[in-house]
Amino acid sequence: MVATTHGLISSMLWKCVADVESELPDNKDDLDHDLLRYIDRISSLYEPNPFHSWEHACQVVLSSSFLVKEYHKTKDEIGSKTGIDSNPFVRFITVFSALIHDVGHLGMPNAQLLDDKHCLTKIYRNSFLERQSLQIGLGIFIEEFPDLSTMVLRMCPEFVHLVTSAVLATDVSSQERQKEIKDRFERVTTAPNENVPEFERTQSVVEQILLLADVGHCTQGYDIFLDWNAFFFRECLGNFYAGHGHDPRAEWFKGQISFIEFYIIPLAERCSALVPSCEAINGARTIVNTWKKHGEDFTKNLIDRSCRADEQEQANYDAKNVDKSNEVKATVNGFGKGNTKCMSKKSRFWRRLSCFHRHEKNTAHRDSTASIDSNTQ
């Protein structure tokens, strides 16, 4: 997936460069290889969460790439009517933001970090996970890949600011930030060109496209929605079993309806002003209507499978460690009675959830690594 993602982001980068300068740099091949190494580096820093994972980042890159291409197809027509941006680096800013938007994500929401008094809440004032992703993604880009980042910053001086606003926009739990994003979009799409700064127009375009790409699985087909819905359910349930947050099972079915109707569809409607050819609105409506008919059964199956998986994990763990029990008891002999059950039920289930995602995607990751090695040689 690293090689495929590189292909998408690389094409965006060099289109942007060609729009700014008449000739591509002489060291284009070296810079493109730096981009490949950067993407591989970022992929290694995504945690093996069921949902907020490297696979999710790849899907968001793919979705944002499609949306920004469609946006550029109709950009001249839309721009003449609404004053949408003319920044030549919109393509690369959008897919770069998609690449790093969840790097280092801990698999739990910002509100839970606050409740747990996590160390990130002492470092950042808000949007803890998003700010960590920005520090990781932009820090590595600037510090470890100076030639590539210098070229980008020279051609697009506002690159860091635009990427920062885009990634922070993905904190959908912040009502204040989401209101700012909506208000900005209203100004951009209704005010005359001369009344809205170019930077603000570009900022709004990137924010809306990235927001829709981030939840693209809620608009792209019912089967895709179910796959990612199950991943997110496992992540939320794993957090609960690990002692973080509430049990998601009781409200899961109704919660998906509210999320799509009150967040996804309004977002898709805003994006249709940028990308009229986008079918996100129809896709979201089809999904939520189908979910209302079949989602309750799907949710029951999710819950049943999670219970069976928990029981199987405990059985596997006990069987694996039965031969070691005497050895453990011998180790603690003379030091009082030791507890030979090394992990609690919750800890075992959390470990299983983490390993599940890593195991399912193992083959794809090895293929990506092999691609990097071949390119390096």
Token pair listed for 71: 């946006």
Integer Cα distance of 168 and 162 in angstroms: 10
**Around Cβ 247, how many Cβ atoms within 10 Å?**
12
Q: What distance lies between CA 87 and its chain's CA centroid?
A: 24
Residue segments in the chain with a per-residue pLDDT below the cut of 50: 80-83, 324-377
* Whether the Cβ atoms of residue 92 and residue 152 lie closer than 8 Å to each other: yes
Look at residue 314 in the predicted model and tell me its pLDDT: 53
Integer Cα distance of 91 and 69 in angstroms: 8
Closest-CA residue to 253 (of 297, 289, 285, 223):
297
Segment 334-354, tens digit of pLDDT: 333 333 333 343 344 344 444
Give the relative orientation of helices 159-169 and 198-214 as an angle to the nearest 10 degrees: 40
Find where tokens 């199950």 sit: 230
Look at residue 234 in the predicted model and tell me its pLDDT: 94
Superfamily of domain 2-376: 3'5'-cyclic nucleotide phosphodiesterase, catalytic domain (1.10.1300.10)
Phi, psi torsion values for 43, nearest 5 degrees: -60, -35
Segment 71-87, tens digit of pLDDT: 988 776 655 444 466 78
Residues ≥6 apart with Cβ < 8 Å to 346: 241, 242, 243
* Whether the Cβ atoms of residue 15 and residue 87 lie closer than 8 Å to each other: no
Token pair listed for 367: 């293929």
Domain borders along the chain are: 2-376
